[in-house]
Amino acid sequence: MNLEKSEKMESNFVDYVKIYCRSGKGGRGSMHLRHVKYNPNGGPDGGDGGKGGSIILRGNHNYWTLLHLKYERHIFAEHGGNGGKDKCHGTDGKDVYIDVPCGTVVYDAETGKYVCDITYDGQEIVLLKGGRGGLGNFQFRTATNQAPRYAQPGEPMQEMTIILELKLLADVGLVGFPNAGKSTLLSSLSNARPKIANYPFTTMEPSLGIVGYRDNKSFVMADIPGIIEGAAEGKGLGLRFLRHIERNSLLLFMVPSDTDDIKREYEILLNELRQFNPDMLDKHRVLAITKCDLLDEELIEMLRETLPDDLPCVFISAVANKGLDELKDVLWRELNAESNKLAAVMAEDTLVHRDKDMTRFAEELADEGEDEDIEYVDEDDIEDIENYEDFEYEED
In a domain, 32, yes or no: yes
- pLDDT 10s digits, 9-59: 445 667 788 999 999 999 999 988 887 777 777 788 899 999 999 999 999
Q: What is the mean predicted confidence (pLDDT) over 133-148?
A: 88
Whether residue 53 is found in the same domain as residue 190: no
Whether residue 188 is found in the same domain as residue 92: no
**Dihedral sign from CA coordinates of 315, 214, 209, 63:** negative
Whether residue 162 is found in the same domain as residue 188: no
Among 7-21, 249-263, 361-375, the range with the most confident prediction by mean pLDDT is 249-263
**Is 181 strand, coil or helix?**
coil
Whether residue 34 is found in the same domain as residue 108: yes
Give yes or no for residue 357 having a pLDDT over 90.
no
Q: Residue 158 sits in a domain of what CATH number?
A: 2.70.210.12
In a domain, 347, yes or no: yes
Whether residue 204 is found in the same domain as residue 306: yes
Q: Residue 194 sits in a domain of what CATH number?
A: 3.40.50.300
Residue 2, pLDDT score = 42
- pLDDT category at 389 given cuts 50, 70, 90 is very low
More confidently predicted of 234 and 87? 87
Among 48-52, 115-119, 254-258, 312-316, the range with the most confident prediction by mean pLDDT is 48-52
Whether residue 224 is found in the same domain as residue 331: yes
Give yes or no for residue 280 having a pLDDT over 90.
no
**In terms of pTM, does the model score above 0.85?**
no
Residue 321, pLDDT score = 86
More confidently predicted of 31 and 198? 31
In a domain, 396, yes or no: no
Q: What is the mean predicted confidence (pLDDT) over 334-358?
A: 58
Annotate 344-381 with DSSP letters as a single string: HHHHHHH---PPP-HHHHHHHHHHTT--S------GGG
- pLDDT 10s digits, 87-116: 899 999 999 999 998 888 899 988 888 888
- pLDDT category at 6 given cuts 50, 70, 90 is very low
In a domain, 2, yes or no: no
Residue 78, pLDDT score = 94
Percent of the chain with pLDDT over 90: 19
Whether residue 118 is found in the same domain as residue 236: no
Give yes or no for residue 120 having a pLDDT over 50.
yes
**Is 74 strand, coil or helix?**
strand
In a domain, 333, yes or no: yes
Of 155, 152, 156, 157, residue with least CA distance to 47:
152
Whether residue 262 is found in the same domain as residue 293: yes
Residue 144, pLDDT score = 86
| Mean pLDDT computed over every residue of the chain | 78
Give yes or no for residue 4 having a pLDDT over 60.
no
- pLDDT 10s digits, 147-196: 888 899 999 999 999 999 887 777 888 888 887 788 888 888 887 666 55
Q: What is the mean predicted confidence (pLDDT) over 321-342?
A: 81
Whether residue 144 is found in the same domain as residue 181: no
Segments forming the whole domain that contains residue 117: 12-166+371-381
Query: Is there a contact between 183 and 223 (Cβ–Cβ < 8 Å)?
Result: yes
Distance CA 96, CA 88 (A): 25
Give yes or no for residue 375 having a pLDDT over 70.
no
In a domain, 264, yes or no: yes
In a domain, 107, yes or no: yes
- pLDDT category at 3 given cuts 50, 70, 90 is very low
Q: How many Cβ atoms are within 10 Å of 293's Cβ, its own excluded? A: 15
Q: 92 φ, ψ to 5°?
A: -80, 140
Give yes or no for residue 80 having a pLDDT over 90.
yes
Whether residue 143 is found in the same domain as residue 32: yes
How many structural domains are present in the chain?
2
Give yes or no for residue 360 having a pLDDT over 80.
no
Distance CA 318, CA 188 (A): 6
Whether residue 288 is found in the same domain as residue 303: yes
In a domain, 389, yes or no: no
Whether residue 258 is found in the same domain as residue 312: yes
